């Protein structure tokens, strides 16, 4: 599997049978500036969304139309995307699992909100925020935590799914900060690899992963901090 960080919480995963975008926030993402949107979405088969905020839904509607990718989202967000023209949608909700060819996705809990104020000025409630747990055939398992604070039931997520890789929000203000994220990883998970995200984009969140990296020193978890656009082979 190849994991590419596309800035903020956006990732691309290339597996043996699928090319997956998670939270494809390209347009308006300062950390994505200078990257090629067409190249980043080339050959994508699936788009997975953790929740309905604009910095996570991002370019989903356009990318789904251009690539023909199947979009996975919580039921409320999926219905809203359908009303905006997304044709291929798989809807689920917290605790549910959806199987695809070569991988499955389970909606895990996350402590966050999920809504959008659209161009008509109306706030649309878009279900609950989630993490996404991916079990990939013949490959490492991966948890994208979504946007969240620490919570004790993270221990149950680990017990149920034993994720090898964590994509961990660390930017503070809207999610847990780096020190708390490191505590969550140490107390509730046993990741082989952790990649921090949701930082270094907007100026009001942390600009570096230093607090998380420092907090993870001395653990068995390998912390990777790629630059936006860089890939990690697993």
- Give one DSSP letter per residue of 75-142, joined into a string: HHHHHHHHHTT--SEEEE-TT-EEEETTEEEEEEE-SS--EEE-TTS-EEE----EEEEEEETTS--E
The CA-based angle 175-176-182, given to 5 degrees, is 145
- Give one DSSP letter per residue of 31-49, joined into a string: GGTTS-HHHHHTT--EEE-
Write the pLDDT tens digit of every residue in 33-59.
Answer: 999 999 999 999 999 999 999 999 999
Q: Do 47 and 24 form a contact (C-beta atoms < 8 A)?
A: yes
Hey, what domains does the chain have and what are their CATH numbers? Answer: 2-111+127-227 (3.60.15.10)
Q: How many CA atoms lie within 13 A of 6 on its CB side?
A: 26
pLDDT at residue 199 is higher than 90: yes
Q: Do 143 and 119 form a contact (C-beta atoms < 8 A)?
A: no
Q: What is the pLDDT of residue 122?
A: 81
Q: What is the pLDDT of residue 64?
A: 98
- Please state, for a pLDDT cut of 90, what percent of the chain lies above it: 96
Task: Give the Cα separation of 75 and 79 in Å (integer).
Answer: 6
Question: Average pLDDT for residues 23-41, to the nearest whole number?
Answer: 96
Enter the tokens of residue 199.
């930082």
Instruction: List C-alpha distances in Å: 203 to 70, 86, 212.
Output: 33, 32, 18
Write the pLDDT tens digit of every residue in 110-156.
Answer: 999 999 887 778 888 999 999 999 999 999 999 999 999 999 999 99
Pairing of strands 103-109, 97-100: antiparallel
Average pLDDT, the chain: 97
Read off the pLDDT band of 100 (50, 70, 90).
Answer: very high
Q: What is the pTM of this model?
A: 0.97
Q: Do 10 and 233 form a contact (C-beta atoms < 8 A)?
A: no
Give which of 18, 13, 16, 10 is closest to 2, Cα–Cα. 13
Read off the pLDDT band of 188 (50, 70, 90).
Answer: very high
Enter the tokens of residue 224.
């990777």
Which contacts of 39-42 are long-range, i.e. CB under 8 A and separated by 24 or more positions? 40/4, 40/6, 40/12, 41/66, 41/67
Q: What is the pLDDT of residue 117?
A: 83
Q: What is the pLDDT of residue 182?
A: 98
Q: What is the pLDDT of residue 124?
A: 87
3-state helix, strand, coil in the chain (%, to 5): 25, 30, 50
């Amino acid at each position: 599997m190849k994991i590419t960080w596309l800035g903020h919480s956006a990732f691309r995963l290339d597996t043996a049978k699928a090319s997956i975008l998670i939270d494809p926030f390209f347009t308006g993402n300062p950390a994505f500036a200078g990257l090629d949107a067409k190249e980043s979405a080339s050959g994508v088969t699936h788009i997975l969304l953790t929740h309905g905020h604009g910095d996570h839904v991002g370019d989903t509607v356009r990318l789904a139309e251009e690539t023909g990718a199947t979009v996975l989202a919580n039921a409320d967000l999926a219905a809203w995307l359908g009303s905006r023209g997304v044709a291929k949608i798989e809807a689920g909700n917290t605790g549910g699992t959806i199987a695809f060819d070569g991988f499955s996705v389970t909606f895990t809990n996350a402590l966050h909100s999920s809504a959008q104020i659209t161009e008509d000025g109306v706030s649309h409630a878009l279900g609950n925020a989630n993490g996404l747990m991916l079990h990939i055939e013949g490959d490492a398992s991966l948890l994208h935590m979504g946007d969240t604070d620490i919570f004790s039931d993270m221990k149950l997520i680990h017990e149920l799914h034993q994720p090898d890789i964590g994509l961990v929000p660390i930017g503070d203000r809207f999610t847990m900060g780096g020190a708390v994220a490191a505590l969550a990883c140490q107390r509730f998970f046993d990741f082989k690899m952790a990649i921090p995200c949701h930082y270094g984009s907007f100026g009001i969140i942390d600009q570096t992963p230093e607090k998380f990296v420092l907090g993870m020193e001395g653990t068995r978890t390998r912390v990777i901090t790629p630059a936006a656009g860089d890939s990690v082979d697993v």
